[in-house]
Structure 1
Amino acid sequence: MASQYSRWYHPYEINEKYNKRVAYFCMEYAIHQALKIYSGGLGFLAGSHMRSAHDLRQNVIGIGMLWKYGYYDQERNEDQTMRPHFEQKFYSFLEDSGITVRVVVNEHPVLVKAMVLKPETFGTAPIYFLTTDIPENDHLARTITHRLYDPEPMARIAQGIVLGVGGAKVVEALGGTETFHMNEGHALPLAFRLYEEYGKVEEVRKRLVFTTHTPEKAGNEEHDINLLQKMSFFNGVTLDEAREITGMHGHMFNHTLAALRLSKVANGVSQLHGEVARDMWYGNDGVCEIKAITNAQNVPFWMDTELWQAQERDDNKAMQKRKGEMKHQLFDVVADQTGKLFRPDVLTIVWARRFAAYKRADLLMRDMDRFMKLLNNKETPVQLVWAGKPYPFDYGAIHVFNKLVKMSQKQDNVSVLTGYELGLSKKLKDGADVWLNTPRRPREASGTSGMTAAMNGAVNLSVQDGWLPEFTRHGENSFVLPIVDTSMPDDMQDEEDYNNLMRILEQQVIPMYYHDQERWLRIVKNSMRDVVPHFDADRMAHQYYEMVYNY
């Protein structure tokens, strides 16, 4: 056995509780500011999972993609509006694993090289990043691993083949694994590689588990089944056989549904999302059990130690002093990007996450007169910061971002920042007094940014969606909007949520911050204490073994 798995390397002795070998497949990982291969929440989650797998000494490796141009660099035009920029990245800390495998894309052979991120570099489980951008491939094959979430459907399909089939072959070259974990459906061709090897759907299901991350249509990919067959997505399986083993008999092929039919068990990423996912998918034949494992974030990576120690001592003065220092660090970025000088003694509200329509970045601006009155109240001033990356080809989301930029140019106490990656994300969470979260319920599967904000003394003000119903106690550790009737049209939901949001801001949050600091700090401390340890990724990584890998 030892020789068979001799290349399955970890620099630590495996904890016997986590001895089963697991290969974790994900399209993006947010590991470090220097490694720009992620877009948003899925990557942040995967990064924390790999850190906690390392900290718990789990027998896990990651399989990902080495994106030559990353996601994109968020830059500005002359008028401060947003411009996506694609720039080649070079990573000196990734090492050639010595593994190159062959996959078939569009009936043509493509070579896939695996570069390894060793655990000692950033404190993660070993992660193997796949690239086709090597001299042995032709130009088209080399472009497969250029851009994360390429807008061209055939490129996206090719990326799934490289991650799924190429990743499976890399795992085989390392000695094999007992469990393959697909973190989202991008790696689905992995299932057809396993089917090729074992010849029975039952054998595939024994080895495959699946996490679904979103109820959004865009996150549950569909493609023309004939296009998938032409692209070699089914890894040599005939179209009739692919239909038979996935139960897909129509024109369109749903990747999430296929993953649920080919896995032994699946999970949603919060308790609410588990319910939503079961409602979405249980009406289909052959779907596996869908459990719920709430996402979490790695505490040692995200939490400010000095602030945590001050709250442990119940030292309000030390907490206020440290929070002021953390706000200064954010405000240095605000000044650098926008030329505005924000004040640490002013209530600072931050909205920062991926820009998407359902997240409603501009909800605060629904009634501009009321919004401006909030902004211009000199007795109880506020400062607002927005940040986040839209998908570079989502022109509606880019329009909202640019609308906020235009508005901010007329207000000294509003800023819109670019470059929402790990470094800026940490500063925003450190510097926020209020972490604002405004999705349309129940479309936010988890929304982990609020966890790391709470770890750093920011109070969540949120719709009760994703992880929040498991955490919030209104007026005690957070502020939450009443649940609206989701059967109403979107515009009516938006109106009700907006009025509730402004009422809570005007009547509770702002007055408490300025006139009852003792109560405010009590909420901050409750928030910090309640978010740890339950929303620490160590709990999450443990539950994956307990509820999924050992299922």
Structure 2
Amino acid sequence: MKAIRRLHVRTVLPDALSPLHDLALNLRWSWHPPTLDLFESIDAQKWAECRREPLAMLSALTPDELDRLAGDPAFVQRVREAGEGLTRYLSEPRWYQQEAQAGGEAGGFGQAYAYFSPEFGITAALPQYSGGLGILAGDHLKSASDLGVPIVGIGLFYKSGYFRQRLNAEGWQQESYPVLDPDDQPLALLREEDGTPAVISLAMPGEGHLDAHVWRAQVGRVPLLLLDSDVESNDASKRDLTDRLYGGGGDQRLQQEMLLGIGGVRALRLWSRLTGAPEPDVYHMNEGHAGFQGVERISELVSGADLSFEEALRAVRASTVFTTHTPVPAGIDRFGVNQISQHFGGAAELPGVALDKLLELGAETYEGGDSGVFNMAVMGLRLGQRANGVSVLHGEVSRGMFKGLWPGFDEAEVPIGSITNGVHAGTWVDRKVFDLAAEFMGPEALTDGTAFEKVSQVPVDRIWATKREMREQLVAETRTRLRKSMRTRGSTSAELGWIDEVLDPDILTIGFARRVPTYKRLTLMLRDPERLAKILLDPDRPVQLVIAGKAHPADDTGKRLIQEMVRFTDDHKLRHRIVFLPNYDIAMAQRLYPGCDVWLNNPLRPFEACGTSGMKAALNGALNLSILDGWWDEWFDGENGWAIPTADGVDDDRRDELEASALYDLLENSVVPTFYDTDEAGLPTRWLEMIQHTLGTLGPKVMADRMVRDYTRALYLPAARAGWAVRENNYARARDLAGAVERIRAAWPSVRVEHVEAEGVSDSPQIGETVRVHAYLALGGLSPEDVSVQVAFGRASETDELTEVETSTLEPVESYDNGRHRFDGELELTRTGSLGWTVRALPAHPQLAADAELGLVANA
């Protein structure tokens, strides 16, 4: 029989156990071992059956079991203390509050920062992520919570998540989409004061509408609002809109992003109205998927503050941060202009946002751009006054990708900076590492960046023993998962005795796990299968590989790569040394990173924006073996692992051949010998020195706490202050800036540097000399206050191209007829060698954040 209706009956806890409810609903448990220990102590077997999920554990307890626990004074005391500990964590001043108080700048620190992302990887219990973007977003929220940064997250609730991966007999990836009941998740529905579910609504084409409920997950101190379109007032297609993460294309993808952006802002307004939470000071777009949040805010200001579109745009830009995560144009969402017109024209037009104005925001108005598409990343850059990539190299790549938006400027001046990603130690570092660090480095060793310098105090034999324990842990996990996978692929239990011999806790273990687009090159290691087999099966110094990864459901190329890898691992001569594990997720990763000695990453450079899996492995005492891409490009130092040489300037096939050969060489000649070269006590002394060096130097850098501090100081606080400034006196400065921009743009074709003179230059200039510069400019209808005139100087190439450029401002000294003016300044010669200099004019206004912001420049 099948049920015709479902009810969700929640557990009623005895009063003595009531804190368990809050402990289970607050996702802090996912990175707080004492809370997990508390739930496990109830019933270890039942805890394992509930997949170590507190809410599921409470639902599994019978009334008799709850009464028994409520009658246990020792357990009740533990519950009370855990509840009090959570209350302290949620209320006590933390880094952010201490910084505000210590700086005496309470008014200079924002009350709330909105963080928009299409996915969030918090815990395996709430599978709302597909890969690195979501995991990064989850780590961002967790560290913001630990630091007390007042963030609120905004995303979508996907009832079927991303997908669960399994393999068929031929090794082909297959997907399933188990339905998640939000009532079984650590979520609470946002309700109106009368108890009815709160609803936000969007206009859709053809007089249609899209309604959504709002679920709240509590990530420590951080609320995460997730919009859900499975609402009875929607038609069937709209109810399924948020069913799957990245599950559809075309209109479905566009409408998901409309819900995330426009609906997300409306959800924030609803949240503030119902809870009294402050309106955000800053809006952070984690990739372009959430770009429509800026359009909705423009509409609000045009309608509610009586601003023009341009005035509202300037106000929105001031308080918006945009982070790009993709280093390739193909990774950016682009929609047809006709699609956008259908969804934002006519009856669906947002008040105050004319369709032509909206289309301008996403137009690829640069050489090589496509006039028929609307680019979400381009819109993000036009809506965000502050933008960044996610590693130093990715910042450089992004400036190259988008330089067409700032014509006339050198690539280095494109206003896209970089903040390198980090990882949340509490989530990814194995408890055995925490315990070891606490014993020798202090109780907060891995959450206090200053304590990493004490890693030399940890005895190396204890480090080595701990690594073996974690390898042993991985071996057990691998065998369990592999047995389940092989049964799914059609093997019987009688055929699987060989799995008991898979992997060995005393063998060098290499991990490789990530999404499977072609640029990550899952199968590069198979370029010479005989050579790889020889490395794996070496009788004296064997190697074992644990591999995992998912291909997008629509990516048959990625699926073929997985199948090629699986068929290799199926070889009965090799299967005890190399394993492919399906359904890579947070739960698997939390065993895989600690159990690996080496983390392998071999993308096509520079297509890895950052790549944080190697950071997680490093914090667990692993060494990285990677192409110099993403974060590894900036933090590899020759002692914390190995860099695979990059073969530039050759065709793709030849490049793969050369880089695979370099990988084998490193394994055979460096990695494997270093691991197995032991002293009289059986310790690999050089290997352990590298682990200690890695933890001591990389540890503070790869922490998400460092990342969130960087975002707060470099982007959130400046954006908050800029937003406050443009809102003062009924948006007076936004109106002034919009007027100035309009006036400057109109006059700029007449701006030119007419003549430059220099005095004080000797025939053989020497370091320390000063050059006096006089520049004569025609400004058309602009005044000297509307421009910044600079002398730019740096090293000059044979073609007079300047590099290592520095600038110095020239001041207005005289004005003449017909809009001509003289600007003077001095240039001190502080460097030797072949130097060159020039003069240029740029727009000037107190509310502009970067020289290149308007994309206007007049060069001499």
Is the shorter-chain TM-score for this pair beyond 0.5, marking a shared fold? yes
Q: For residue 7 of structure 1, what is the aligned residue in structure 2?
A: none
Amino acid aligned to 2:657: E
Amino acid aligned to 2:378: L
Matched, 1:293 2:419: yes
Matched, 1:215 2:327: yes
Matched, 1:100 2:191: no
- The CA distance in 2 between the partners of 1:146 and 1:168, in whole Å, is 21
Look up the SS of the partner of 2:190 in the other structure.
strand
Which structure 2 residue ranges, 5 or more long, are not aligned? 1-88, 101-108, 192-197, 273-278, 302-308, 366-370, 408-412, 438-454, 484-498, 679-683, 719-860
Deviates more, 1:59-68 or 1:191-200: 191-200
- The CA distance in 1 between the partners of 2:147 and 2:590, in whole Å, is 23
Matched, 1:388 2:528: no
Q: Is the 8 A contact 2:119 2:128 kept in 1?
A: yes
Look up the SS of the partner of 1:231 in the other structure.
helix
Matched, 1:57 2:157: no
- List aligned pairs for 1:335-414, cutoff 5 A: 335-339=479-483, 340=499, 341-410=502-571, 411=574, 412-414=576-578
Matched, 1:508 2:632: no
Q: For residue 34 of structure 1, what is the aligned residue in structure 2?
A: 125
**Alpha-carbon displacement from aligned partner over 1:3-46 (angstroms, at most 9, x marks no partner):** xxxxxxx9435634453421000001110110011000001100
Q: For residue 643 of structure 2, what is the aligned residue in structure 1?
A: 480
**Alpha-carbon displacement from aligned partner over 1:413-441 (angstroms, at most 9, x marks no partner):** 11000121111011110111110000011
- The CA distance in 2 between the partners of 1:141 and 1:433, in whole Å, is 47
What is the deviation of 1:69?
0.3
How many residue pairs match? The answer is 537
- The CA distance in 2 between the partners of 1:508 and 1:174, in whole Å, is 56
Q: Is the 8 A contact 2:172 2:560 kept in 1?
A: no
Look up the SS of the partner of 2:241 in the other structure.
helix
Matched, 1:88 2:179: yes
Relative distance call for 1:63 and 1:484 in structure 2 (3 A) is: same
**Alpha-carbon displacement from aligned partner over 1:251-286 (angstroms, at most 9, x marks no partner):** 111111111112111100001101110111122249
- The CA distance in 2 between the partners of 1:160 and 1:246, in whole Å, is 14
Amino acid aligned to 1:113: H
- The CA distance in 1 between the partners of 2:468 and 2:171, in whole Å, is 28
What is the deviation of 1:470?
2.3
What TM-score does the superposition give when structure 2 sets the normalisation length?
0.60
Deviates more, 1:52-61 or 1:234-243: 234-243
Which among 320, 343, 364 is matched to residue 231 of structure 1?
343
Q: For residue 270 of structure 1, what is the aligned residue in structure 2?
A: 391
- The CA distance in 2 between the partners of 1:371 and 1:106, in whole Å, is 56
**Alpha-carbon displacement from aligned partner over 1:222-249 (angstroms, at most 9, x marks no partner):** 1111112213398523332223444556
- The CA distance in 1 between the partners of 2:349 and 2:431, in whole Å, is 49
- The CA distance in 2 between the partners of 1:186 and 1:150, in whole Å, is 14
**Alpha-carbon displacement from aligned partner over 1:157-180 (angstroms, at most 9, x marks no partner):** 010011000000011223321211
Q: For residue 313 of structure 1, what is the aligned residue in structure 2?
A: 457
Q: For residue 698 of structure 2, what is the aligned residue in structure 1?
A: 531
What is the deviation of 1:80?
4.6
Identity of counterpart residues, as a percentage? Answer: 34
Matched, 1:243 2:359: yes
Amino acid aligned to 2:374: F
Q: Is the 8 A contact 2:121 2:134 kept in 1?
A: yes
- The CA distance in 2 between the partners of 1:293 and 1:430, in whole Å, is 26
Matched, 1:174 2:271: yes
Q: Is the 8 A contact 1:52 1:124 kept in 2?
A: no
**Higher RCO, 1 vs 2 (CA within 8 Å, ≥6 residues apart):** 1
Q: For residue 326 of structure 1, what is the aligned residue in structure 2?
A: 470
Matched, 1:546 2:713: yes
Q: For residue 634 of structure 2, what is the aligned residue in structure 1?
A: 470
Matched, 1:496 2:658: yes
Which among 192, 197, 212 is matched to residue 112 of structure 1?
212
Look up the SS of the partner of 2:630 in the other structure.
coil
- The CA distance in 2 between the partners of 1:230 and 1:299, in whole Å, is 45
Q: For residue 195 of structure 1, what is the aligned residue in structure 2?
A: 298
Look up the SS of the partner of 2:152 in the other structure.
strand
What is the deviation of 1:384?
1.0
- The CA distance in 2 between the partners of 1:435 and 1:490, in whole Å, is 24
**Alpha-carbon displacement from aligned partner over 1:472-506 (angstroms, at most 9, x marks no partner):** 122x1111122432x43222222221121111111
Deviates more, 1:196-205 or 1:448-457: 196-205
Matched, 1:460 2:624: yes
- The CA distance in 2 between the partners of 1:244 and 1:407, in whole Å, is 50
Amino acid aligned to 1:292: S
- The CA distance in 2 between the partners of 1:371 and 1:103, in whole Å, is 55
RMSD between aligned residues = 1.9
- List aligned pairs for 1:41-80, cutoff 5 A: 41-80=132-171
Look up the SS of the partner of 1:118 in the other structure.
strand
- The CA distance in 2 between the partners of 1:482 and 1:544, in whole Å, is 32
Matched, 1:12 2:111: no
Which among 135, 149, 163 is matched to residue 232 of structure 2?
135
Relative distance call for 1:288 and 1:441 in structure 2 (3 A) is: closer
- The CA distance in 2 between the partners of 1:307 and 1:431, in whole Å, is 11
Deviates more, 1:215-224 or 1:19-28: 215-224
What is the deviation of 1:135?
1.7
Q: For residue 752 of structure 2, what is the aligned residue in structure 1?
A: none
Relative distance call for 1:244 and 1:44 in structure 2 (3 A) is: closer
**Alpha-carbon displacement from aligned partner over 1:456-484 (angstroms, at most 9, x marks no partner):** 0111000010001222122x111112243
Relative distance call for 1:226 and 1:52 in structure 2 (3 A) is: same
Which structure 1 residue ranges, 5 or more long, are not aligned? 1-9
Q: Is the 8 A contact 1:151 1:393 kept in 2?
A: no
Q: Is the 8 A contact 2:128 2:158 kept in 1?
A: yes
Q: Is the 8 A contact 1:26 1:183 kept in 2?
A: yes
Q: For residue 4 of structure 1, what is the aligned residue in structure 2?
A: none
Look up the SS of the partner of 1:380 in the other structure.
coil
- The CA distance in 2 between the partners of 1:257 and 1:12, in whole Å, is 39
Amino acid aligned to 2:523: D
- The CA distance in 1 between the partners of 2:169 and 2:529, in whole Å, is 26
